[in-house]
């Protein structure tokens, strides 16, 4: 069950560098465009490799309201994040020595960075409030993370609960574990392998037309093309929608984990190689039914070809769904008996 940039030092501050000498904590730095990656044997920019995003664990998706338009943390906020993340980096070793496993064996620690959050647009770094229709659709959704959730059937769970998919855009963001991402390429095709929920995105780059709008897939239907010799641009449509559709679902995302997806949702991604070991990833989510305006997130990816992707040992129909339903029915029966 689901639990709850830097590419060029001359233009972008290193993730761990001090910002004390730079009073501008607001400006979102431009993405360098001058790096020319190696080419594949068939002439496309070579993005192949393993790009785990575990270093971003505990970096929130959106800022706090108090942080306003600040892209970077203040010195005080940075110290607080060090205090928050620091102990998680040694927790696994501590648990191993004590013989008592806990969150250290479950949660992959992140690395301290200066980002207030991943959302860069709107300028306040926060996902827009839902439209009236978005709120109505949200009220129809079910999730094991929703407040006061009860369970009677599989329709009371979202797709991640049921081990079908984490969906989009959530699958491109961090969570507690399984943050591996691997890019494969062949002529006219890019495949993005995701460690979480053992799925692979297939992205044609050969100019083929998209599928009929009547067809809807859990992670949508993607088409890609190349820009500037170093950027893969991917547009994804045809998302599955309805009460069992997926959520934003990552660190610092809107509470309740009940963010709906409509049939009009469009996701546009830009994967820009800024040197051999760095990709700047940007994602714009545009769903006019659910949000009054699009929103954009940016994340620094780092190559780590030594990272191993492991089996995501979860599948639709696993016993946890049944256990949730059984326990929820028993609890409600007890409550009814107590009221007699």
pLDDT in tens, the chain (340 residues): 443 333 333 333 334 333 343 568 999 999 998 999 999 999 999 999 999 999 998 899 999 999 999 999 999 999 998 888 877 777 778 878 888 877 777 777 788 899 999 999 999 999 999 999 998 988 888 877 776 788 999 888 888 888 888 889 989 999 888 899 999 999 999 999 999 888 999 999 999 999 999 999 999 999 999 999 899 999 999 998 876 556 666 766 776 556 889 999 999 999 999 999 999 999 999 999 999 999 999 999 999 999 999 888 888 888 888 999 999 999 999 988 887 7
Q: What angle do CA 32, 63, 235 make, to 5 degrees?
A: 50
H/E element, 295:
strand 295-302
| Bridge partners for 270 per DSSP | 233, 282
Query: In 3-state terms, what secondary structure has residue 80?
Result: helix
b/e for 229-239, b at 16 or more Cβ within 10 A? ebbbbbbbbbb
Q: What is the pTM of this model?
A: 0.87
Q: CA–CA separation, 269 vs 12, rounded Å?
A: 20
| Bridge partners for 301 per DSSP | 279
> Phi, psi (5° rounding) for residue 231?
-125, 125
Predicted confidence (pLDDT) per residue in 272-320, tens digit? 999 999 999 999 999 999 999 999 999 999 999 999 998 888 888 888 8
Q: CA–CA separation, 147 vs 276, rounded Å?
A: 44
Q: Which residues does 56 contact at the CB level (< 8 Å), separation at least 6?
A: 110, 111, 113, 118, 174, 179, 299, 300
Report DSSP state, residue 201: E
Query: In 3-state terms, what secondary structure has residue 198?
Result: helix
Give me the torsion for CA of 62, 82, 53, 291, rounded to 10°.
Answer: 0
Q: What is the DSSP string of 123-186?
A: TTS-PPPPPHHHHHHHHH---TTSTT---SSGGGS-TTTTTS---TTGGGS--SS---EEEEEE
């Amino acid at each position: 069950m689901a639990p709850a940039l830097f590419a060029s030092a001359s233009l972008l501050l290193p993730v761990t560098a001090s910002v004390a000498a730079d009073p501008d904590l607001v400006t979102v730095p431009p993405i360098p465009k001058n790096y020319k990656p190696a080419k594949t044997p068939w002439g496309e920019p070579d993005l192949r490799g393993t790009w785990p995003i575990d270093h971003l664990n505990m970096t929130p998706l959106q800022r706090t309201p108090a942080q306003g338009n600040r892209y970077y943390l203040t010195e005080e906020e940075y110290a607080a994040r060090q205090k928050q993340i620091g102990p998680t980096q040694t927790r696994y070793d501590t648990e191993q020595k004590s013989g008592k496993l806990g969150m250290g064996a479950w949660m992959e620690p992140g690395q301290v960075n200066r980002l207030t959050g991943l959302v860069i647009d709107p300028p306040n770094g926060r996902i827009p409030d839902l439209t009236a229709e978005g709120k109505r659709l949200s009220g129809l959704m079910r999730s094991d993370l929703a407040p006061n959730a009860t369970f009677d059937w599989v329709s009371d769970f979202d797709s991640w609960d049921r081990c079908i998919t984490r969906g989009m855009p959530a699958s491109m963001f961090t969570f507690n574990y399984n943050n591996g991402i691997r890019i494969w390429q062949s002529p006219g095709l890019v495949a993005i392998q995701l460690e979480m929920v053992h799925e692979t995105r297939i992205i044609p780059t050969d100019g083929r037309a998209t599928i009929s709008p009547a067809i809807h897939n859990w992670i949508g239907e993607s088409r890609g093309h190349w820009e500037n010799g170093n950027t893969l641009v991917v547009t994804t449509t045809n998302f599955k929608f309805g009460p069992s559709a997926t959520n934003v679902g990552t660190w610092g995302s809107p509470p309740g984990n009940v963010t709906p997806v409509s049939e009009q949702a469009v996701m546009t991604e830009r994967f820009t190689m800024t040197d051999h070991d760095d990709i700047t990833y940007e994602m714009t989510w545009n769903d006019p039914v659910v949000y009054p305006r699009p929103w954009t997130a940016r994340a620094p990816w780092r190559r780590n070809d030594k990272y191993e992707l492991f089996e995501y040992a979860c599948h639709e129909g696993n016993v946890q769904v049944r256990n949730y339903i059984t326990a929820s029915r028993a609890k409600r029966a007890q409550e009814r008996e107590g009221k007699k």
